[in-house]
Every structure is written in structure tokens, then in C-alpha cells.
Structure 1
């Protein structure tokens, strides 16, 4: 029983060592050229920014570097249980190249990535390779002890570590050294792989200041969401009190009057019945509008694409809708996106002077996914995100879900409003 337990434990440790060595070797093999290429292209692209070429190339290069860094974050979590925080500032996907370049170069995470690439191609490469060295280097020592030293002795001997192998005795010494290194591999190899990822975390992980800033932004967006929800509840209460509730009270009074007039003045009672019926129709219409303003039934039943199509049909301007969604987002995301589109369309109708609107909805399969919505009109342009504007409200609504809003609206038009919300589709 004890022998079986020991054999099982030894087998488990051997698998752990082999796994750490294999992962470290693959990591060292891939990370060195990746880090060198990423760092070189980044420096070259940033250096070309003043002459304009870098404005186009830098966003692509830095996006690749971020993808490489995110891949390392995933490996750190899966292979060593090391969580490395990411704090990239959100950037609208449809922003102009110079805007993306400026935003990325202002992001502290960009320069942290570049520092990490330098560490990854030096100390990071060595720490990734060490688990494989501890496992595979002893094999060479055993081969030397088994007789490989003989053909090598023709060249004046062979150095294995600090052992100069010239005869069978020194070859056995190399074998002993190989056994000692292999013994060290069992406790050290998995730990060295963890050391590699801890080194990665020390350089690549977001600083406390950045995480605090991230928490501050999230706190503000959540507070805006709570304020918006409270204002929405007050609006619903006001609409019910001043609209449907008032009509229902009036209908109750009319019905009481009708009861008294049925015998005395049937004609008048019939007239009041007609008015009461119309009041009930009006009250029902107001309740439907109120419900539609809270959560449109078509959104719950058919999803965001059909809800936006229905919204476009009610627009006074010709509106084209293109939807490419392979599934449905979570209900809160769909609701936020729907009302954001509704607000942008309302702004376009009121202020743009456009005679046509285009809406595009699609899902970008990047990382966990991104819902991207673009609303374009051929109006006079000049739209800005400012305090008190409808677009500022849209930005706050999207911020609740870590979404971003970008507006391109030069004088003379056209105006393009891009909204992005991180989400996965079911």
C-alpha cells in the first residue's frame, strides 16, 4: 500500500516536472522571437509617427503587442495560477488612426508593455528555459557517462558543467552531476515556471495607481447608472400620475355619472359611454407607450436587431438597418444598446438636418467579444459630446458596461456615431 502510494506520488511529480519543462521550452521558443519582433516594430513605428507613417502603423503594431501580452496573461493564469491585471484604456474601434495612436501612446499600459518585452527577451527567456534545462541537460550527462565521452576525447576531452571528462572515471563524475541536476529538477522545475510568470506579473501587471483609477471610473459610471435609474423611476411615476392614472380616475367618475343617467337621460348616458370608451383607448395607448419606454416588448421577444429595425420604422427619415448578430447579448446590454441607439436617432432627427440615416450592428469576435453599433447621417455635422447633450447621456449609459462612444462629425457632415460594448453573444 505504501509502495503504491510512493509510486503514485513519484509519477505525479514526474508528470509535473515534464509538463513544466515542456511548457517552459515552448514558451521560450515562442516568446523570444515574439518579444524581439514586437519591440522592434513598436520602436520603428513610433519613430515614424512624426512623418505620418507611424500614425497608420502604430495602432496595428501596438494592438498586436497587446494581444501578445494578453496571451501571456492567459497562460499565466492557466499554467501557474498567476493572475495578471490588465488596465488598457478603452478605445473606439472606428476611431481615426491618429486618434487611436494618440490614445494608445498616452496610455501608461502601452509603455509598460514595451518594458515587459525587453524583460521577456532577456530574464524572462532564461527563466522560461530553465525548467527544460533541468530536465533535459541531465540526459546529456548520462549519455557521456554511458560512453559518449570516448569519441569526444579525441578532441581533448569534454566539459560537462564543471566536470572535465577525459576518461571513464571523469565520465562517471559527469553522470553523478547529471543525477544531482535531475534531482533538483523535481522540486525546482515547476517553481521556476511560476517564477517566470511572477516576473511577468511584476513588469506587466497594472500598478496600484492604475487600478485605483479604474475603480474610480467604474464607481462614477455606476453612480451615473443609479442616478439615471432613479430619474427614470421618477419619470415613470410622473407619467402614470399625470397620464393613465388621471384618465382612469376620470373614467370612474364618468361611469358613476352614466349609472345615474341610464334611466333619466339614456342619450346623454350613451354619449358619455362613447367618451369613456375613447378615454380607455387613450389610457391603453399611454400605458403601451410607457411600457415601451421601460423595455420594448419586441426587444424582449425578438432581440436587439429586430428592436432597432422596429425603431427605424418609426423614424420620420428613411433609415437603413444592417444587422450581423449571431446570437443575443445579455438583457441589460441589449437594453442599454437599444436606448443608446434611440437617443442617437432622436438627436439626428432634431439637430442634424439629415435626410437619410444608416444603422449598422455587428459583433466583433475579439477576446470576449464586442458589440459595435454605428449610426451615420448625411446631415450638417458639428455634433459633439458635451455637458447637457444627448450624446453625453449616451456615453454615461455605455460607461456602465465599460462601453465607449466615439463621434466623428466634421462641419458639413456626415456624422458617424460609434458605440462599443464588451459582451459575448449567447
Structure 2
């Protein structure tokens, strides 16, 4: 019984606090943001809106994302993020403005911002008001009446209606507190469902998403087929050819052993060198499929080891509280490896930097250098391949590389992390 009372008390108090939070957020954040958004849109013809609109809309997205988190944590209502990916190649002020205003999710966020004010007020009062009114009925109203001339008082006889009212108020207040343990969570869930009706992707967005997934799946299948052909070609032209030559040398050495031992020894020495070369090629091939250091040390250790092999200094900063799933981890590693290889081959940089961190359910990788710039994913090559690899996991890549540099490549992959980390989080490779 005591456990049930504590559970109801926890629910009631939780509903009260969360209801107050929703009301405060609606009036102190949503309403001012809506007003700022309207004013900044009106200021676009004056030029100031070009700068203000992206700032305000990004702030609205931050608040909407927080609402998505609360809906999931408080009510178990999942609200997917519907925003369009940021275009590759970097965004100037006008391009960023066009990108934000052309996204239907931005306008749905704006509509939610103003409609959430009355909805949060009503549902927040339901979530927290019952417990407050019930506590007032238990702890304040009946006892206050004992010392006033209103209602029942000490001059009323115990068998009069005053005693009935006293007890009735206590019972009613306790009932309201008990009911609030159920009404609070229901009100919060209703608020979360309201948020999902505006903050979740629309059917058109979902259809666009399906088309994008079909496209990326097709590209992934093509990329996988090309990768298998490359592995087959490398095995046929490399390790397989060396193993055939090794077998022939050993056969000749067996025949020459009786007649020309010196020649047999030379053939065996060549066979030993061929076996070592074949083993090296097989190891390189395995590293190209899934590097052992990635399996052993995770993404954190793998990118640090990779940075140490480069002929220029690379500042490495990582902040990973665990490990992504193996396919995502592999895609992230090869994306970083390709970007660093491009730095060495094409940038003419004297220094590079690498940042890998996980935040908000997304793995963020930033590779930059102080080189000559001019990198363009549209030109094809390794960058285009990495863009396809990331797209298979719903990831994105944005490249900022003006002539003269610097070049900054920002890559994101949605993922969750598993085990806690045990390695340091920053350093220089």
C-alpha cells in the first residue's frame, strides 16, 4: 500500500513539474520566438531578415527538437526529425535562407510554436492543476475554515453540516491528488501527440524519404558490387598470382634439389619472398575490407592510428561515449580515411585537423586542412563515393572549400552508441 501511495505521489509531482515546464516554455520561449520569426520574415526585403531568419528558425528547431526529446522521455511518443539535409558545398546567407524557407518542416515548426501556447497552457494546467487544487483542499481550505466565520467553525455543533463539509473537503482533496497521478501523464501524452501532429514528417516527406532510400539502396548495391569486383581483381592479379608463382618455384626447387642444390636454394629463397609479399597483400586487402585496428580499438583508436600514419601533423579530438554499430562504424572510418587521403594527395596542406563526436543521436565527423581549397564533390572521385556510402545510412556530407582554402568537410551519421568508453577523449596525432 505504501509503495502504491509513493508511486501515485511521484506521478502527481512529476505531472506538476512537467506541466509547469511546458507552460513556462510556451510563454517564455515559444511566444517570443514566434514574434521574432514574424518580424524577421518581414525584414527580409530590408536585408536584415536574411541574417535574422536563419538564426530564429534554427532556434525554433532547437526548441522543437527539445520537445521531441521530452515527448519520447516523458510519454514514450517518438517524433521523427523531418528536416531536409543541409546541401553539400557550404551555405552562404542567401542560400541558407532559401534552404530553410523552402523546407515545409520550417513552417510547420512555426505553426507549432504559436499553437503550442494555448495547448500547453490547458494541458499543463490539467497535468499540474489537479494536484495543486487537491493539496489545497487537504492542507489549507478545511483547516483555514476552523478559524473563520465562513463555512463550518468551532461554534458549529459536531453533528451539524459543518463537520460533513470539513470531512468532505478532505476527501475531495485527497481524491483529486490521487486522480492527478493518472491525469498528469495522460495530459502530457496528449501534449506529445499534439506536437507529433505538427513536428513529425508529413506523408509527402515520408514519400520523398522512401524515394531517397530506394535511390541510396540502389547506389549502395552498385557500390557493393564494384567493391566485390575490386576485391576479386586484387586477389586474382595480386595474391593469387604470387601463390601460383610460389607453387611453381617450390616445384622447380624439388626437381633441382638433386642436380643443382644452389639453384634450388635460390628458388626457395624466391618462394619465401613471394610468400611474404602474398601475405602482405592479403593483409592489405583485409584492412581495406575491415581494418583490424577498428575491430580492436573502435572508431576512436582507429582514427588516431590513421592520423599517425600521415606525413603531416593532424590535430585529433574525439568525444565518443561508446561505439556505433559495426556497419556505421566502418562507414565512418572509411569516410575519415578517404578525406585524410585527399588532404595528403590534393590539398598541399601543412596541417590538418579531425573532430569526431556524438551528440543528439548523430555521429559528427569534421575533417579540415589549411591547404589550397577548391575541393568539389560534384567532380566525382573519392568524395562522391563517400557521399554515397554515408547516404546508405541516411548520413550527409557538406564541403566548404573556397579557392585558397581552408577546406572543411562535415559528415554526419545518425546512430546510437553502445558501451561506455575507456580511452582518452582528445590529443594530437
TM-score category of the 2 structures, normalised to the smaller one: 0.7 to 0.9
CA contact (8 A) 1:62 1:110 kept: yes
Q: Structure 1 residue 217 and structure 2 residue 209: aligned? A: no
Q: Structure 1 residue 113 and structure 2 residue 119: aligned? A: no
DSSP 3-state at the match of 1:322: strand
What is the TM-score normalised by the length of structure 1?
0.78
- RMSD, aligned CA: 3.9
Distance 1:188 1:265, change over 3 A: closer
Using the TM superposition, name which of 58-67 and 7-16 deviates more: 7-16
Cα distance in 2 between the residues matched to 1:189 and 1:417: 46
Structure 1: runs of 5 or more not aligned? 154-167
Q: Structure 1 residue 287 and structure 2 residue 279: aligned? A: no
CA contact (8 A) 1:87 1:214 kept: no
Q: Structure 1 residue 126 and structure 2 residue 122: aligned? A: yes
Q: Structure 1 residue 75 and structure 2 residue 70: aligned? A: yes
Q: Equivalences for 1:152-167 in 2 at 5 Å? A: none
Cα distance in 2 between the residues matched to 1:174 and 1:115: 47
Q: Structure 1 residue 383 and structure 2 residue 378: aligned? A: no
1:371 alignment partner, one of 364, 367, 378: 364
Cα distance in 2 between the residues matched to 1:149 and 1:410: 79
Q: Deviations over 1:370-409 (max 9, x none)?
A: 3322132522x43322274322111111223332211223
Q: 1:206: which partner in 2?
A: 201
Q: 1:163: which partner in 2?
A: none
Q: Equivalences for 1:257-268 in 2 at 5 Å? A: 257-268=252-263
Q: 1:401: which partner in 2?
A: 393
How far 1:29 sits from its partner (Å)? 2.9
Cα distance in 1 between the residues matched to 2:101 and 2:264: 76
Cα distance in 2 between the residues matched to 1:150 and 1:94: 75
Q: Deviations over 1:49-92 (max 9, x none)?
A: 45554444444433332222222222223333333232223338
DSSP 3-state at the match of 2:85: coil
What is the number of residues matched between the two proteins?
403
How far 1:95 sits from its partner (Å)? 4.1
Distance 1:364 1:97, change over 3 A: farther
Distance 1:151 1:106, change over 3 A: farther
Distance 1:20 1:410, change over 3 A: closer
CA contact (8 A) 1:134 1:182 kept: no
Using the TM superposition, name which of 212-221 and 115-124 deviates more: 212-221
DSSP 3-state at the match of 1:386: helix
Distance 1:175 1:203, change over 3 A: farther
Q: Structure 1 residue 359 and structure 2 residue 340: aligned? A: no
